[in-house]
Amino acid sequence: MDRIIRREPADWRHSVAFTGHRPQKLPFGFDETDPRCVDFKRRLCNSIEMMILEGYTHFISGGALGMDMYAAEAVLTLREQYPEITLEIAIPHDGQTAKWPQSLRDRAERIREEADVITWIAHEYTKRCLFDRNYYMVSHCSVLLACFDGQAGGTAQTIETAHRLGRLVTVVRPVRRKVA
């Protein structure tokens, strides 16, 4: 594991990690202009700000599309108002963004350039590197903030790991439930 540390992060007791669905599993897909996505991003930013106000100062994103990217961008926006907070990107392997469209690779690169800490879990892709990245994030936080709607997959496994390690899990649903 390699790291770049631009600003020293808080210890794990003041850290929040993010997990959540990729755009393919979100009801609004890649359409960030969809009102449901706009609402989700607003609620996500509000949740992160509440955590800052509760004393959490270090935030860890897995650098993937969807929740990870939205959360990292929210932290960077909030850092303008709360300069004490830090952002860490936990990269599962060197080629994480290689197959992404150029616009999303550029966006990920901008986030990495502004991050306070970058942690590479592995340099080469392996079948375990995503699991290892998720385990790293959960083991280095006290709260896991998840975009989750109950679907099986990596997000569900990460939430299970957080529960097993005694971490608090907070869920921001991708779409609000309608009240009858």
Q: What's the confidence (pLDDT) of residue 58? A: 98
Query: Is it the case that residue 180 has pLDDT exceeding 70?
Result: no
pLDDT tens, position by position, 75-101: 999 999 999 999 999 999 999 999 999
* Location of structure tokens 């529960």: 163
Q: What is the pLDDT of residue 2?
A: 87
The pLDDT tens digits for 32-81 are 999 999 999 999 999 999 999 999 999 999 999 999 999 999 999 999 99
- Which residues 6+ apart lie within 8 Å of 36 measured at CB? 27, 28, 174, 175
Residues facing 144 on adjacent strands: 17, 169
* 16: β partners: 59, 143
Structurally, at CATH architecture level, domain 2-172 sits in 3-Layer(aba) Sandwich (3.40)
CB–CB of 71/44 below 8 Å?
yes
- Looking at residue 63, the DSSP 8-state letter turns out to be -
> Pick from 68, 13, 77: which is nearest to 49 by CA?
77
Contact of 175 with 167, CB cutoff 8 Å: no
pTM, to two decimals = 0.95
Token pair of 4, please? Answer: 């770049």
> How far is 6 from 98, CA to CA, in rounded Å?
25
Map out the domains of the chain as residue ranges: 2-172
**Integer Cα distance of 153 and 83 in angstroms:** 35
